[in-house]
Amino acid sequence: MIVPEVPAARLGRGSVVARRVRFLAGADRSPRRNQYLAALLALIAGTLNSVGFVAVSVYTSHMTGLTASVADHLVLGSLSLVWVGLEAIGAFVLGAMACALLFNWGRRCGLQGRYANVLVVEALLILAFGALADRLVWAHRDHVFVAVLCFTMGLQNAIITKISAAQIRTTHVTGMITDIGIELGKLAYRSRRAGEPPVRADLGKLGMLAALVGLFFVGGMLGAAGYLAIGFPILVAPALVLLLVASPPLLADLHLRRAS
């Protein structure tokens, strides 16, 4: 069921924010909701990526670099680093698979929380990791850190891909910067042939991409600085924010189930 929008002028500022948070992860999507959710996820992805690098020297969202790293270290004979790279890639793939399973189950069941289910799993993983990672004293705990962070990144990249029909990524900065370059090229292009249709840049897309890259960058700074200051507990705050955003659709599903 689609809930009709209430004009912003009739709502207080706090009510507008509350309404946006309420429907941010719901089944009823719009380009604006997708952009707001992508902005939040880009910030969280940047944070997780930097925490992973500072903690274990692995960029856990950078599958291109990890794939190249596996090839390089295989040739160089650094088998321990090959296994780390394979573990990271495998965990990322498993995260994307888990997203597809959860999403398609929720879609077939007609759940409002078909997207939110995935975000809740991500939030709970980040929350548990942030609260407990510093207590893990196993000699090979770095492998656990890499696996959890890469699985989380796979979940997140897959769900925003589903939500936006593959139009938005929040962990794939290479693609976003490429698209920024394309739009800037369109903006700079001046046709000298009369009668040809003009080449127009999509300024809205350009602004959105620049904002996502900027938020990923800010998240990276927050993650690195936060980890150096307090360690893994820096991840508790973004996990709680993600839970707040994902909870309303799940609560709506529970309410409908009890009412039926």
Q: Could you give the CA distance from residue 195 to residue 134 in angstroms, rounded to a whole number?
A: 65
pLDDT average, residue stretch 204-220: 94
| Residue count (the chain) | 260
Q: Are 169 and 175 in contact (CB under 8 A)?
A: yes
Burial (0-12, 13-18, 19+ Cβ within 10 Å), 63: buried
Choice between 15 and 102, residue whose per-residue pLDDT is larger: 102
Predicted confidence (pLDDT) per residue in 119-171, tens digit: 999 999 999 999 999 888 888 889 999 999 999 999 998 988 888 877 777 87
Give the CA distances from residue 169 to residues 66, 110, 214, 228, in Å, rounded to whole numbers and listed in that order: 18, 25, 13, 28
Q: Are 210 and 202 in contact (CB under 8 A)?
A: no
Predicted confidence (pLDDT) per residue in 231-256, tens digit: 999 999 999 999 999 998 888 888 88
Q: Rounded to two decimals, what is the model's pTM?
A: 0.84
Residue % of the chain over a pLDDT of 90:
52
Helix runs in the chain, H state only:
13-23, 31-56, 63-76, 79-108, 116-132, 141-163, 173-188, 203-230, 236-259
Q: What type of residue is 210?
A: A
